Structure 1
């Protein structure tokens, strides 16, 4: 299955303020494929990175496999604060609120035990997520 709707990569580039890293570009070049990650979207694997409010944030995303990995580390010493490998993601998007907040939204299918995961990246960094194992 593929994330539905497919995440808009321009929105993710806006949120992370940088182009993602196509993780398998060298492997593809070695086999003679010269595709860019945009051409292969959503059937590729890319990593978005940014640094905000003293935190290094990374999101690996594979929309074609409904997989997202979120990592949050302290900027100075690299201490790992959060590492989530999430399977069964319905879609991912960027949200800009009128109060200057910018958020990553990770949605799950209806009936899933996980509620929407929010990663606020501006003006500060915070994670909000609910999970109800009783409904699994």
Structure 2
């Protein structure tokens, strides 16, 4: 199952202000061939990284398998604050609301997890909505 809609890598590059790292690039070079990760999107895994407001933010994403790993560390010490290995992510997107830049992760209807928001500007914050049983 692939995330629907497929995340826009252009939007993610804009949000993280950097090109992602294609995790299989070295293996492909060693095997004598090389792909541009964009040719394989969304059926490949890439890592986006940025530093904002004193935090290193890293997102590994594989839309083809609905997998996202999100890490938040204190820069420059590297002290880990958050490490989420998320499966069944329905969609990943970028929102711009009232001068804020947000990463949005949505989960399937009926899932206990609802929406995970990572505010990247003007400061860093994580908010996760949860659909707990009543």
C-alpha RMSD over aligned residues: 1.3
CA offset digits 1:22-65 (Å, max 9, x no partner)? 01111122233321100000111100000000000000000001
1:63 matches 2:71: no
CA offset digits 1:63-116 (Å, max 9, x no partner)? 00100000000003111000000000001001111x210000001111111011
* Aligned 8 A contact 2:108 2:114 in 1: no
Matches within 5 A, 1:1-136: 1-97=1-97, 99-132=98-131, 134=133
In the aligned structure 2, how far is the partner of 1:7 from the partner of 1:31? 29
> What's the CA shift for 1:133?
5.0
4+ aligned runs moved over 6 Å, structure 1: none
Consecutive unaligned residues in structure 1, runs of 5 or more: none
The residue matched to 1:5 in structure 2 has which SS?
coil
> What's the CA shift for 1:130?
2.4
| TM-score w.r.t. length of structure 2 | 0.95
Consecutive unaligned residues in structure 2, runs of 5 or more: none
In the aligned structure 1, how far is the partner of 2:50 from the partner of 2:25? 20
| Higher strand fraction (1 or 2) | 2
